[in-house]
Structures are given as C-alpha cells and as structure tokens.
C-alpha cells in the first residue's frame, strides 16, 4: 500500500468530500436564514467525477473517505453513489456526516450500500432550542434518525455537538448522560471561525470546562482504541454504553497529526479546513486530463498544506467559504 506524506511528514490518508452545498437546516452559526449563494448545478462535481478522483487518489494512499456537505442526504442518488464508493479498491473506511433530518428513511439503505460509520450533528436535546439554533422544527426527525442508525447496526454512531457559549452549554450534562443510556459516542467540538459564523473567541466554550463539568457525574476513564483514533480525546463514564469525546481545534489543536484533505462541492482540493488556499480540479477533470495529472495536482496541493491553523495569530482571517461548501 502507498503512503502519502505532506512536506511536514504527516501521513495523509483521509479525504472528506462535500457532495453538495445545499442544506435543509439553517444553523445560526453556519448559514444565514436566507441561505448562501448556491454553487451553480453545472459547477458541482458529478458523482462519476468524484468516483474517478477517489479511485485515483486511493492509488496514492487515501484509504478513508467521509461524505459530507451541505447535507449529503439531500443530494439525489446518494445511496447509489455510496455503493459505488464503497466498492473502490483501497477505500477501507467509508463514513458520512449528516444532520440526521432524513436519516430515518436512509439509514438501512446506506448500511446496505456499504457505509461503515455515521456521524450525526446535534447541538441540543431540546426541541425548542433546536428550532432556535437550526431555524427548522426538526428535532424529532433527527432523534428518529439516530435511533434508526443504531437499530440498523451502525457502530459507532457519533453525535457531534458544537458548543457555543450562551447557546447550548447548559446541556453538556444531558449529552453526557445519553452515553449511559445509549451506545452513542458524544463528541464536543469547539466552535471554529468558519464561513458565515459570527465567531469571536469569547463564544468558544473550552472543552476543558466541559470535561470538568462532566466529571461531576463520575470518573472519566480514558479510552485508547488505536483502530478508531481520530482527533477526539476519548473517555467513558463508569458503566456507560457509549463514550464521550473532546475535539479541541481551538484550545489544543491537533494540526501536527492532521491526516486530512478536503474536496469541496465544486471540485476544489483544500488541504486545511481553516485556510482558504485551494486547487481547482474541475478544469482538469473536465478537460480530459489523465490520472497522473490528478496525482500531480494532489502532490502540489499537499505542498501548500499549512503546518497548523493560524486562529490565534493577529493576522488570521476567518475562512471565506462556509462550512457547508467546504464540507465540515
């Protein structure tokens, strides 16, 4: 198997693909009420273009793929797309990040299509707060989607909780208690300066505070499981069915071990979530370039992957693209 390295000798094996910039929620910190100017349909990569890229990049060392968006489940034909992705030689980990609104209807067919793991974004357990954060009254649909994902046997099912001061930090213990009752992996993610968000440093609720709060429920035992190691620092409460994870991009970034690149919905290769530098693959894909050229562009892009994000630097500029277009 090939090993792909960037200029800082980090192994790059993980591609996150945004299949659409469309979304059926309007989370306050992600998109404005009226939505964002949408990428024209013709500029969105076709499924066959994405499949080709994954096939080529799997030959360079990419072995993990996550499908995200926008909301991936709103794109037509997503199940067949997943089935074809899962058949690509060399891709041994295929996952999806979804808001869960449509998951109840899709969970079983996604599982059958070969999706291995699923992450569901959910920032509150209170239907009214859900409406206020997402501007859509869909809490019960998401909860039904989570239960269906467990029922059809996805394992792990992870819940991604972005905590924002003054918004949902009061629910930390409720989320932690969920892991006592359900085999869910609840991950607290620090709020990041991306896209439409009105991010300021004082809105970040540091995970160190959350961890302390959760320790009031009992001891947190570290979980070390090499196989599922990502950026989350993981723990388990005594007798819990699930786990608690902390993803600390702000307070304790993990750039030194970053193994990711991203493909935006309009075909740009992006090597850092929080840096707007991108390489546009679409003209090459659409002008009949050969596979070697696509590999060459990947190597070129990796040459620009920053050592780390610059959030704490005075010159840091918030990303211009919204998370929905980058693929959060």
Using CB under 6 A, list all residues that contact ligand SAM: 23, 29-30, 68-69, 71, 97-99, 121, 160, 162, 189, 191-192, 194, 197, 199, 323-324, 328
Secondary structure of 32-85 in HEC code, one letter for each residue? CCCCCCCCCHHHCCCHHHHHHHHHHHHCCCCCEEEEECCCHHHCCCHHHHHHHH
Cα 255 from Cα 260, distance rounded (Å): 10
Q: How far is the CB of 281 from ligand SAM (least distance, A)?
A: 20
Provide the terminal-to-terminal Cα distance of the chain, rounded to the nearest Å.
Answer: 28
Tell the smallest beta-carbon distance from residue 114 to ligand SAM (Å): 19
Q: For residues 8 and 316, which CB has a smaller minimum distance to ligand SAM in the complex?
A: 316
CB 15 within 8 A of CB 252: no
Question: CB-wise, 179 or 197, nearer to ligand SAM?
Answer: 197
Shortest Cβ 229–ligand SAM spacing (Å): 20
Of the pair 6, 21, the CB lying nearest ligand SAM is at: 21
Q: In angstroms, what is the minimal distance from the CB of 97 to ligand SAM?
A: 4
Alpha-carbon distance of 206 to 114, in angstroms, equals 36
Least gap, CB of 226 to ligand SAM (angstroms) = 25
We find the least distance from the C-beta atom of residue 161 to ligand SAM, in angstroms, to be 8
Task: Indicate the pairing of strand 260-263 with strand 243-247.
Answer: unpaired
Strand 64-68 to 93-98 pairing: parallel
* Min separation Cβ 196 and ligand SAM, Å: 8
- E strands along the chain, which residues? 14-18, 64-68, 93-98, 117-121, 157-163, 184-190, 220-222, 233-237, 243-247, 260-263, 268-270, 278-280
Encoded tokens for 250: 């702000």
Compare residues 58 and 325 and give the one whose CB is closer to ligand SAM.
325
Tell me the residue nearest to ligand SAM as measured from the CB: 328
Instruction: Decide whether 13 or 95 has the Cβ nearer to ligand SAM.
Output: 95
Please say which residue, 10 or 158, places its beta carbon nearer to ligand SAM.
158
77 vs 303, beta carbon nearer ligand SAM: 77
CA distance to 159, 174, 184, per residue, from 126 (Å): 15, 10, 18
DSSP strand pairing (14-18 vs 278-280)? unpaired
């Amino acid at each position: 198997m090939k090993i792909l390295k960037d200029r800082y000798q980090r192994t790059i094996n993980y591609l996150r693909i945004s299949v659409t910039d469309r979304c059926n929620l309007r989370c306050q910190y992600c998109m404005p009420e009226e939505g964002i100017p949408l990428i024209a349909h013709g500029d969105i990569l076709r499924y066959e273009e994405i499949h080709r890229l994954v096939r080529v990049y799997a030959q360079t060392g990419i072995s993990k793929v996550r499908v995200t968006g926008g909301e991936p489940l709103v794109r037509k034909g997503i199940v067949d797309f997943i089935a074809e992705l899962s058949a690509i030689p060399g891709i041994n980990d295929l996952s999806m990040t979804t808001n869960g609104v449509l998951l109840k209807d899709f969970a079983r067919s996604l599982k059958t299509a070969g999706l291995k793991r699923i992450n569901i974004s959910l920032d509150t357990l209170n239907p009214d707060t859900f409406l206020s954060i997402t501007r859509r009254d869909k809490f019960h649909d998401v909860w039904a989607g989570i239960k269906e994902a467990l029922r059809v046997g996805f394992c792990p099912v992870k819940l991604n909780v972005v905590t924002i001061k003054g918004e949902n930090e009061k629910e930390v213990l409720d989320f932690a208690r969920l892991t006592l009752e359900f085999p869910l992996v609840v991950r607290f993610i620090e709020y990041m300066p991306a896209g439409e968000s009105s991010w300021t440093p004082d809105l970040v609720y540091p995970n160190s505070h959350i961890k302390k709060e959760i320790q009031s429920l009992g001891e947190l035992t570290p979980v070390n499981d090499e196989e599922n190691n990502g950026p989350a620092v993981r723990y388990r409460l005594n007798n819990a069915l699930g786990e608690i994870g902390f993803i600390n991009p702000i307070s304790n970034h993990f750039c030194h071990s970053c193994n990711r690149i991203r493909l935006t919905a309009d075909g740009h290769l992006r090597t850092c979530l929080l840096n707007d530098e991108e390489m546009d693959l679409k003209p090459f894909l659409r002008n009949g370039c050969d596979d070697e050229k696509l590999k060459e562009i990947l190597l070129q892009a990796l040459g620009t992957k920053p050592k780390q994000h610059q959030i704490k630097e005075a010159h840091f500029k918030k990303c211009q693209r919204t998370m929905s277009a980058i693929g959060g």
